[in-house]
Amino acid sequence: MSKNKITPFLWYDKEAEDAAKFYVSIFKNAKINQVARYPEGSPYEAGTVMTVAFELDGQHFTAINGGPHFKLDEAISFTVDCDGQAEVDHYWESLLAGGGTPSQCGWLKDRYGLSWQVTPKQLIELTTSSDKAQNNRVFAAMMKMSKIIVADLERAAKA
Identify the pLDDT of residue 4.
Answer: 76
Confidence of residue 42 (pLDDT cuts 50, 70, 90): very high
Residues with Cβ within 8 Å of residue 93, at least 6 apart in sequence: none
Whether 109 has a pLDDT exceeding 80, the answer reads yes
- Distances in Å between the Cα of 155 and the Cα atoms of 40, 77, 125, 126, 150 are 61, 28, 14, 11, 9
For residue 125, what pLDDT is reported? 96
Whole-model pTM: value is 0.92
Q: What's the pLDDT score for residue 2?
A: 57
Nearest-angstrom CA–CA distance, 41 and 97: 37
pLDDT at 1: 57
The percent of residues in the chain predicted with pLDDT above 70, rounded, is 98
Instruction: Kindly list the structural domains of the chain, giving each domain's residue range(s) and its CATH number in brackets, ordered by start.
Output: 1-71 (3.30.720.100), 72-159 (3.10.180.10)
**Cβ proximity of 159 and 139 under 8 Å:** no
